[in-house]
Amino acid sequence: MRYLYAALLLSSLALCPRIHAANLQPGPYAAAASVVTVGVQSAQTPPVPVSPSVQAASKAPTTASAKGIQTNRTFTITMFMVIIASTMVILFWAAGKTKTAADYYAAGGGISGMQNGWAIAGDTLSAATFLGTTGLVSVFGLDGFMYAAGLTVSFLTILLIIAEPCRNAGKYTLGDILSFRSRSKKVRVASALSTVVISSFYLLVQLVGAGKLMQLLLGISYMNAVIGVGILIVLYVGFGGMQATTWVQIIKAVLLMASATILSVVVLWKSGMSPVQLLDDVAGSAAVQDHVRALLKHPAAEPGFDYGQRFLELGLFLKDPLDQISLGIGLLFGVAGLPHVVMRFFTVPNAKEARKSIVVAMSLIGFFLLPLITILGLGAALYVSPQKIMAVDKWGNLAVLMLAQHIGGGVGSIGGDLLLAFVCAVAFATILAVVSGLVLATSAAIAHDLYVTIYKDGKADQHMQVRVAKLASFGVGTLAILMAIACENQNVIVLASLAITVAASSNFPVVLFALFWKRFNTAGITAGLVIGATATIGLVMVSPNMTYPKKIAADAQKIVTALEKKQAEGAILVEKELKSLEKARADYLRNKDGKSMLGLDAPLFTLKNPGIVSVPIGFLSAILGTLLLRNKEEEEMFTELYIRQNTGLEIAKVAEH
């Protein structure tokens, strides 16, 4: 298994740049990169002593936050202010170019395919991918790699099926595409509500990551961090529109790719630049082996069981094979249904540039997620240890930050504090970029689909449209802040996958049918959007993703029984086992009579990822709605749509910028 894993890493490193070159340039395409190597302290050797001069130099004010991580406040505040200042410059520049609704929603269609590709990468490589996926790999091994691989493959769906037709058929929002054949206001309402629901889930993901980062960065409470970041992001969107959002996303993508590449090279360098050796080192780590034994709830090590090898196999997090398939289904179709991703197709001048942007984005995202994030997660498990990572955050959301500090020299060293501050600032820029796109997509749906089309019957002027969109961004931001405060302890990549599954079950089926099925109509669109989203959320609420106190109590009781049996047989428990026994008894007493949020003792739906059920429900609902309530007038509109989506006729000219 570890050799297969290494082969996947090697093929990802080799293939992604070749895809990029083959699709974007007819001639030779090459880029030079400089690599900075920094010594990595082995997990098996004692710490390198820090000289008195270095200790004295590093005594700048520090803040101990996030349950024990220490940051140098001088360094982190400086990095933070650099990011804020950079984005403010972009904001003022973009504000002067944002005069019309087309400027605000789609940058006037004047973004090139290359720029849009980097922006899509910046939009997709969010806090969930950078923090959450790395954390899952560091804590659950290969299961975390599944999230990375699924997200990468999902862009093939966009490239092959919807990128060109959406660019040719739409204008600003998802509602424009769905309403081309249907003049019913129900479609606008349903598509706008779908956009708000999905974007709110995804906003929640980013703000959870933002709260964790700012808690670490400034030593302030999680709640205050979320509120502060949320307000800042809403202000950015309100003034800058799509121009500001695009360039913030591009700059963020460049910083993220550079930092992840450098950190990954350092991790590989310690293992002789060999992925196979890295996997062997991880499997041989005593800390990793003890962690797997704890995950499997083995109070004592079972003779002959290879716990290190088990870390490199599937099933530590997604224990059911159906869960793995379900995750893949949700990711494969979900990204293509995300409103803020669809909206980016309207920023380029033509379908050719839309395709080019997806090829660029897919190359960048694949290179980042498959080799880089996986190497960083494995490096965090090896050099920081899963136990230390989970002591800070049980889902591993801060694993890459801890790894960066370790690579730089450890807590209290100048190198460690500087590298940690830089990676924190990059992650913060990541959140700014992604949330800006989400808030923009949501406010566009509210202003363009609901206010202009429904309330004003298409007769609102440009100034009022933009004003309503800005007001909507404040409302969406407030809702996201409140939800993020309530979800402080959830893993961000899991929350992101749930948002993507909602998109896969509602938006993707109706977009696909609207573009390619002649008989598709208003009833099918409404049924697909409403029933698909409702089914997904309902399944999540009764799935293992929710907290079930009696399940916690049952797991604790197993540990109590095993350790008490060991005592009864005359064995003396070591200190670690005594602490585990004490904790298990306390967990049992605290949870034995509890129930879930919906009053359940156990999940009604056993899979963590509902896509295997909810996606077929979304497709079936759209089909049945169409067949039961046929509309010949809407069928006749398909010919015009078909011609437009394949030829690009009547596409508005690009605004001059």
Confidence band of 643 (pLDDT split at 50, 70, 90): confident
Asked whether 325 and 86 are in contact (CB, 8 A), the reply is no
Q: Which residues of 195-228 are buried (b: 16+ CB within 10 A; e: fewer)?
A: bbbbbbbbbbbbbbbbbbbbbbbbbbebeebbbb
Amino acid at 637: M
Query: How large is the greatest C-alpha to C-alpha distance in the chain, in angstroms?
Result: 84
CB count within 10 Å of CB 615 equals 25
The 10s digit of each residue's pLDDT in 272-323 is 898 889 989 998 889 999 888 888 888 777 887 888 888 888 888 877 788 8
pLDDT of residue 614: 93
Q: Where is mean pLDDT largest: 128-132, 537-541, 557-561, 611-615?
A: 611-615
CATH class of residue range 71-500: mainly alpha
Q: Where is mean pLDDT largest: 61-75, 275-289, 536-550?
A: 275-289
Rounded mean pLDDT, 134-150: 82
pLDDT of residue 105: 66
Q: Is residue 6 scored above 60 in pLDDT? A: no
Tally of residues, the chain: 657
Q: Where is mean pLDDT largest: 230-239, 493-502, 542-551?
A: 542-551
CB count within 10 Å of CB 570 equals 6
Surface-to-core class of residue 586, CB atoms within 10 Å of its CB (0-12 exposed, 13-18 middle, 19+ buried) = exposed
Confidence band of 219 (pLDDT split at 50, 70, 90): confident
Confidence band of 63 (pLDDT split at 50, 70, 90): very low
Asked whether 412 and 58 are in contact (CB, 8 A), the reply is yes
Q: Which residues of 522-558 are buried (b: 16+ CB within 10 A; e: fewer)?
A: bbbbbbbbbbbbbbbbbbbbbbbbeebbbbbbeebbe
Q: Which residues of 94-116 are buried (b: 16+ CB within 10 A; e: fewer)?
A: beebbeebbbbbbbbbbbebbbb
pLDDT of residue 552: 84
Helices (H), 592-654: 611-628, 632-636, 638-647
513: tokens are 């049918």
Q: Where is mean pLDDT largest: 229-243, 317-331, 480-494, 643-657?
A: 317-331
Q: How far from 116 is each of 128, 249, 348, 611, CA to CA, in Å?
A: 21, 9, 7, 29
Name the residue ranges covered by the structural domains of the chain.
71-500
pLDDT of residue 30: 27
Q: Is residue 29 scored above 60 in pLDDT? A: no
Rounded mean pLDDT, 468-480: 78
Q: Is residue 26 scored above 70 in pLDDT? A: no
Q: Is the model more confident about 515 or about 350?
A: 515
User: Mind spelling out the 3-state secondary structure of 273-338?
Assistant: CCHHHHHHHHHCCHHHHHHHHHHCCCCCCCCCCCHHHHHCCCCCCCCCHHHHHHHHHHHHHHHHHC
Asked whether 452 and 185 are in contact (CB, 8 A), the reply is no
Lowest mean pLDDT among 154-163, 378-387, 595-604: 154-163
The long-range contacts involving 589-592, CB below 8 angstroms and separated by at least 24 positions, are 590/549, 590/553, 591/549, 591/550, 591/552, 591/553, 591/556, 592/549, 592/550, 592/553
Q: Is residue 161 scored above 80 in pLDDT? A: no
Average pLDDT of the residues of the chain:
76
546 in helix, strand or coil?
coil
Rounded mean pLDDT, 196-210: 76
pTM over 0.75: no
Confidence band of 618 (pLDDT split at 50, 70, 90): very high
pLDDT of residue 553: 86
CA atoms of 511 and 241, how far apart (whole Å): 25
Share of the chain above pLDDT 70, in %: 81
